[in-house]
Each structure stands twice: as C-alpha cells, then as structure tokens.
Structure 1
Amino acid sequence: MTGRDGRARAKDKGDERRGARRFAVRDFKIDLQSEESFLFAYVENISELGIFVAMEKPLPVGTKLTLRFPARGDVGPLTLGGVVRWINPPSGRHPGMGIAFDPLSAAQREKVVALVRAVAYLTHD
C-alpha cells in the first residue's frame, strides 16, 4: 500500500481486522431490536460480515441484536442476528457502532451478498 506521498505504508489495523470489503451507503434505514430497546438507525457502511450504524448513543459492546433490513433492489426484507463488536463513543467525532452478523446459513449469506451488491450498486450509480 502507498500513501499520498507515494511511499509505502503499513496496512491499517482496520484493514487487517476486516475480512470483507465495506461499502459506504446513504439513506439506508434499518430496525434494531435488543432485549431492552427498539431503534431505527442509518447504516453508514455494509459488508458481508456486518454493518456500521451512526448513532448518538451506541449500545454497549456485546449487546445482541435482531437486525431488520428493508427490501432493496431485488432483495426482499431480511432479518438477521448480530452483536455490537465496537463503538465510537458520543464524545468522538463519528459516534456509532460496528455490528457483526451472527454466523449465516448458506441461504442467508447469499441474501447478504445480494443486499451488499444492491446497496453498493444503488449508492454508486
């Protein structure tokens, strides 16, 4: 990898941590439900492994969630389990939380891949 000055730079720890390419998205609202709350949130980026949602008061790391994605492109509504893996606190410059999807069945994985493609395509037209 090279930096802006053309010199080689080490991989970002985030690059090593992520196992799938992330795509920035706009206007993609989902429902999040934990044992204690029901929320609406905007997805800021998505991959085959999880999402980042912008949120002023992120839920604690380890919170288990049910994620409900609306239909997008040719992909119908989708419901998945997930867990909060990391947060950017409200005092930070970009508050929100990273949510990893629970292990997916083959059918769920196909739907997630189709959703990622649909969202990436519709966002980058």
Structure 2
Amino acid sequence: MEQSDRRRAPRTPRLVEVRYQSNSPPLTARLTDISERGIFVDTPNPLPVGSPVTLNFLLTNTPGEKPIAVEGNVAWRQETVGMGIEFVQLKEEDRSKIKLFIANQG
C-alpha cells in the first residue's frame, strides 16, 4: 500500500523550517507537508521509527504568530530522504490553526 493511501487526514504541501529534538540538541530541517495528524520532515538523517520528537514551527510569517509546539513520534522513515512524524500531543488551538491553514491552501 502506498503511503498516500494510508493517510487519514487531508494534507497540504508546505515548505517551512522546523526545529526538532529527540534526546539530542535541537536540529533544523524542512517541513515539506502537513496534516492535522502529522508532518513530513525532509532530512538526510531521519531518526529511528518510534523515536519521540519535540517539534516547533510556524505556518506563516505573520508578525506575532506563535510557533506551533507539538510532541510526536517517528511513524516511518526513508533513509537519506526524511521521516513522517505523527503528532501525539497537539493543543486544540494548534490543531485548529493547522486545519484552517490546510483549508485555505485548497
């Protein structure tokens, strides 16, 4: 089954900087798509599946926008390409921001 066939939430392509951390100093990479359930992080060194991850990112460059801070787990990875991260703790306020962002991209 293709990865896209298993997706349970609408997603949208987006290229923004994301900071992530998992038992290490924070790293910076690119978030290349997003849904209310998770993101794909473009990185040549993806973390192992199951790794807990703390993420921080902005959806837009709107002045005064607060970053989305979320806990997740690496759900899948593709060596030298990146990793899919499923959100496990996302504030309802941030979930609403993501849903609105996706709706506005369509």
TM-score normalised to structure 2 length: 0.81
Give the drift of 1:115: 4.0
* Counterpart-to-counterpart distance in 1, 2:14 and 2:92: 24
1:58-77 equivalences under 5 Å are 58-70=46-58, 72=60, 75-77=65-67
Task: Give a deviation string over 1:46-81, Cα, whole Å, max 9, x none.
Answer: 111111111111011111111101251665311111
More strand by share: 2
Structure ranking higher on relative contact order (CA contacts 8 Å, 6+ apart): 2
* Counterpart-to-counterpart distance in 2, 1:15 and 1:71: 22
* Counterpart-to-counterpart distance in 1, 2:59 and 2:12: 18
* Counterpart-to-counterpart distance in 1, 2:70 and 2:8: 19
Partner of 1:46: 34
Q: Does 1:31 align with 2:31?
A: no
Aligned length: 104
Instruction: Answer with 1 or 2: which has the greater Rg.
Output: 1
1:82 to 72, 81, 86: 72
Q: Give the secondary structure class of the aligned counterpart of 1:102.
A: strand
The gaps in structure 1 that reach 5 residues or longer are: 1-11
CA-atom RMSD in angstroms: 2.2
Partner of 2:84: 98
Percent of paired sites with the same residue: 34
